[in-house]
């Protein structure tokens, strides 16, 4: 029988301290039994001689200095895993909450994970066809990549994530080894429900593992949620050879939970009150994506984060951008124009794209098409800002052509239906058609040979007149 420690020395926020404890290990998990019989879980965050500081996942409500019995388990936080987790719903701390009973564990794995050795990684090269033109053409998602969606409150990031999940699944050759790990951190109940319903409608619910920490759940549990989800993802990917898509929403709530926890511990804050280790903490999550050499599975991450006040320089999007392999940025003004998905093309990027596109992956002309679209759309912004000063009528013919191109691009290339699944051929052909709305010599990123083949102003005119995308 393990030693039980009666009572506490101190309670502060979600932290409790115990004195005169022996043989306590850093990061180990403890059970805290209240006098009313309920049990809470805690984790050791600091050991100082015989004093141990614990964070209590369920919060410290109702705890007093005398009504607890604490037992240390001698193990770090672990999760029970087996293939049966598919289709199940867990709390943020990895406990089943769907009433279907405990998981019969094949294996217990430390949720902190271990760093993946860079020499054991395979460089990700296989692209995932999401069927969304802006993503496929301009910020191609690669299997094993971590590509976040930077969004704002009120923007359709959840809808976009659902569309990616649904259509990426269809694109998978076999479909059988595909699964989704969904983690909600501080998400509203209806958001979690929206995802659940969408998974159900597209018939993938039995291949989804959900981790729900809703906005009224304890924040300490929120800190564990992505760790649990990624542990499950790694298990399924690297031990069960599945292709896993992980959706983490909303990382901003995670960051805020971390900040709250850090300040209750009395740590010195860095920027905006966030702890100095925010970068390494986020990295320990995001880096858990990739492909391990010799394993057939992969972990692809799509974290969603809402930028507070749409500010991309806020520490959360900023540090995320430094770790992840690109970002998909959503833009409010596009959304207001009624364009879905409102992907802001210029700040969006996929770092792994260059090695996963072109001949043998997508199509030989992909990178030329993408580069030219980026360059031309950057000119659109210049023309627009000039137009806002001197008026559209005063623009030079070339600038007017850019304005026109910008409209077509946003309306037909960015804009697409929630159920519209475009192939990569359709997407690239559409890109060339819209580029053909520009004078030929404005397409300076493309060589003449390719232009001879692709430049077709007639098609651009047809698109404009009929408003129908001719998808061949």
Partner 1 sequence: MNTVYSINGPVVKVRDTSDFSMLEMVYVGKDELIGEVIGVTAQETTIQVYEVTTGMQPGEPVRGTGAPVSAVLGPGIISNIFDGIERPLQDIAAIDGAFISAGIRVENLDGRRKWKVTLKVAEGDEVTGGQIYAVCPETSVIEHRCLIPPYMAGKVTFAAPDGEYTVNDHIITVADGNGEEHELTLCQKWAIKTPRPFARRLPIDRPLVTGQRVIDSVFPIAKGGTAAIPGGFGTGKTMTQHQLAKWCDADIIVYIGCGERGNEMTQVLEEFSGLIDPKTNRPLTDRTVLIANTSNMPVAACEASIYTGITIAEYYRDMGYHIAIMADSTSRWAEALREISGRLEEMPAEEGFPAYLPSRLAAFYERASYVETLCGTEGSVTVIGAVSPQGSDFSEPVTQNTKRFVRCFWALDKSLAYERHYPAINWNDSYSEYTDDLTGYYYDNVDKEFMPCRQRIAAMLSAENKLMEIVKLIGSDVLPDDQKLVIETARVIRVGFLQQNAYHKDDTYVPLEKQFRMMSTILKLYDEAAAAIAGGRVFSDIQATGIFDTVVKMKYDIPNDRPEMFHELQAKIEQAVRGE
Give, as ranges, the residues between 197 and 226 that touch partner 1 (CB under 8 A): none
The residues in 287-316 that bind partner 1, with binding defined as CB under 8 A, are 287-288, 290, 292-295, 313-315
CA distance 442 to 434: 13
Q: How far is the CB of 231 from partner 1 (least distance, A)?
A: 12
Residues 6+ apart with CB under 8 A from 464: 408, 437
The reply on whether position 275 binds partner 1 by CB under 8 A is yes
The reply on whether position 112 binds partner 1 by CB under 8 A is yes
CA distance 30 to 56: 9
User: What are the DSSP E strand ranges found in 241-373?
Assistant: 243-249, 291-292, 298-306, 326-330, 343-350
The residue within the footprint of partner 1, chosen from 61, 117, 336, 466 (CB under 8 A), is 117
The residues in 313-332 that bind partner 1, with binding defined as CB under 8 A, are 313-315, 318-319, 321-323, 325-327
Q: Does an H or E element contain 371, and which?
A: helix 366-390
Q: Which is nearer to partner 1, 17 or 191 (CB)?
A: 17
Peptide bond preceding 179 in cis form (omega within 30 of 0): no
3-class SS of residue 412: helix
The reply on whether position 268 binds partner 1 by CB under 8 A is yes
Q: Which is nearer to partner 1, 7 or 276 (CB)?
A: 276
Q: Which is nearer to partner 1, 194 or 279 (CB)?
A: 279
The reply on whether position 361 binds partner 1 by CB under 8 A is no
The reply on whether position 440 binds partner 1 by CB under 8 A is no
The residues in 376-395 that bind partner 1, with binding defined as CB under 8 A, are 378, 385-386, 389-390, 394-395
The residue within the footprint of partner 1, chosen from 13, 59, 96, 113 (CB under 8 A), is 113
The reply on whether position 366 binds partner 1 by CB under 8 A is no
Q: How far is the CB of 82 from partner 1 (least distance, A)?
A: 20
The residue within the footprint of partner 1, chosen from 9, 17, 71, 76 (CB under 8 A), is 76
CA distance 471 to 459: 11
Piece of the chain touching partner 1 by CB under 8 A; list 128-136, 167-175, 276-284, 413-421: 276-284
3-class SS of residue 327: strand
Q: Which is nearer to partner 1, 192 or 352 (CB)?
A: 352
Q: Which is nearer to partner 1, 361 or 374 (CB)?
A: 374
The reply on whether position 271 binds partner 1 by CB under 8 A is yes
Residues 6+ apart with CB under 8 A from 429: 471, 472
Give the DSSP per-residue string, 26-89.
TTEEEEEEETTS-EEEEEEEEEETTEEEEEETT--TT--SSSEEEEEEEEE-EEEE-GGGTT-E
Give the DSSP per-residue string, 280-291.
HHHHHHHTS-BE
The residues in 9-28 that bind partner 1, with binding defined as CB under 8 A, are 23-28
The answer to whether the beta carbons of residues 400 and 442 sit under 8 Å apart is no
First-to-last alpha carbon distance for the chain, in angstroms, is 72
The answer to whether the beta carbons of residues 135 and 124 sit under 8 Å apart is no
Q: How far is the CB of 124 from partner 1 (least distance, A)?
A: 6
Q: Which is nearer to partner 1, 46 or 98 (CB)?
A: 46
Piece of the chain touching partner 1 by CB under 8 A; list 10-18, 116-124, 204-212, 426-434: 116-124
The residues in 134-193 that bind partner 1, with binding defined as CB under 8 A, are 144-145
Piece of the chain touching partner 1 by CB under 8 A; list 182-190, 421-429, 444-452, 462-470: 444-452
Q: How far is the CB of 396 from partner 1 (least distance, A)?
A: 6
Question: Could you give the C-alpha distances from 325 to 24, 40, 110, 185, 357, in angstroms and in order?
Answer: 39, 38, 26, 22, 15
Q: Which is nearer to partner 1, 88 or 240 (CB)?
A: 240
The residues in 399-438 that bind partner 1, with binding defined as CB under 8 A, are 399
Piece of the chain touching partner 1 by CB under 8 A; list 105-113, 206-214, 219-227, 251-259: 105-113
Q: Which is nearer to partner 1, 167 or 301 (CB)?
A: 301
Q: How far is the CB of 422 from partner 1 (least distance, A)?
A: 23
Angle value at C-alpha 212, between 206 and 214, nearest 5 degrees:
145
Q: How far is the CB of 356 from partner 1 (least distance, A)?
A: 12
Question: Could you give the C-alpha distances from 21 to 8, 11, 101, 265, in angstroms and in order?
Answer: 11, 16, 34, 20
Long-range contacts of 379-385 (CB under 8 A, 24+ apart): 379/442, 380/405, 380/406, 380/409, 381/346
The residues in 226-265 that bind partner 1, with binding defined as CB under 8 A, are 238
Q: How far is the CB of 354 from partner 1 (least distance, A)?
A: 7
Residues 6+ apart with CB under 8 A from 47: 24, 25, 26, 53
Q: How far is the CB of 114 from partner 1 (least distance, A)?
A: 4
């Amino acid at each position: 029988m393990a030693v039980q420690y009666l009572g506490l020395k101190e309670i502060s926020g979600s932290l409790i301290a115990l004195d005169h404890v022996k043989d306590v290990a850093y990061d180990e998990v403890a059970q805290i039994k209240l006098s009313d019989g309920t049990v809470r879980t805690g984790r050791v965050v600091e050991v100082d001689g015989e004093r141990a500081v614990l964070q209590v996942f369920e919060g410290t409500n109702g705890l007093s200095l005398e009504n607890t019995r604490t037992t240390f388990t001698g193990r770090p936080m672990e999760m029970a895993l087996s293939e049966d987790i598919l289709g199940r719903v867990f709390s943020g701390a990895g406990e089943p909450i769907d009433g279907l009973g405990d998981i019969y564990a094949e294996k217990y794995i430390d949720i902190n994970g271990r760093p993946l050795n860079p020499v054991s990684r395979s460089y990700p090269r296989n692209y995932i066809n999401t069927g969304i033109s802006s993503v496929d053409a301009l910020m191609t998602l690669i299997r094993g990549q971590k590509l976040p969606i930077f969004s704002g409150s009120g923007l359709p990031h959840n809808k976009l994530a659902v569309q990616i999940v649904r259509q990426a699944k269809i694109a998978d050759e076999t479909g059988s080894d595909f699964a989704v790990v969904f983690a909600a951190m501080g998400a509203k109940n209806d958001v979690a429900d929206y995802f659940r319903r969408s998974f159900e409608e597209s018939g993938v619910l039995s291949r989804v593992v959900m981790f729900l920490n809703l906005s009224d759940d304890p924040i300490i549990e929120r800190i564990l949620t992505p760790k649990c989800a990624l542990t499950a993802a790694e298990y399924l990917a690297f031990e069960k050879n599945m292709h896993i898509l992980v959706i983490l929403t909303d990382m901003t709530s995670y960051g805020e939970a971390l900040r709250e926890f850090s300040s209750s511990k009395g740590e010195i804050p860095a920027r905006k009150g966030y702890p100095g280790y925010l970068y390494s903490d986020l990295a320990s999550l995001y880096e858990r994506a990739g492909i391990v050499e010799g394993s057939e599975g992969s972990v692809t991450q799509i974290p969603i984060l809402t930028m507070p006040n749409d500010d991309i320089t806020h520490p959360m999007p900023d540090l995320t951008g430094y770790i992840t392999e690109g970002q998909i940025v959503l833009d409010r003004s596009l959304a207001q124009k009624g364009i879905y998905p409102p992907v802001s093309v210029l700040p969006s990027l996929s770092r792994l794209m260059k090695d996963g596109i072109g001949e043998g992956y997508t199509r030989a002309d992909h990178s030329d098409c993408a580069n030219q679209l980026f360059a031309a759309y950057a000119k659109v912004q210049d023309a627009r800002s000039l137009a806002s000063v001197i008026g559209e009528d005063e623009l030079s013919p070339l600038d007017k052509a850019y304005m026109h191109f910008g409209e077509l691009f946003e309306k037909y290339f960015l804009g697409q239906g929630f159920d519209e699944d475009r192939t990569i051929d359709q997407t690239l052909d559409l890109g060339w058609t819209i580029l053909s709305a520009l004078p030929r010599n404005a397409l300076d990123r493309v060589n003449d040979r390719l232009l001879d083949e692709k430049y077709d102003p007639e098609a651009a005119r047809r698109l404009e007149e009929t408003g129908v995308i001719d998808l061949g």
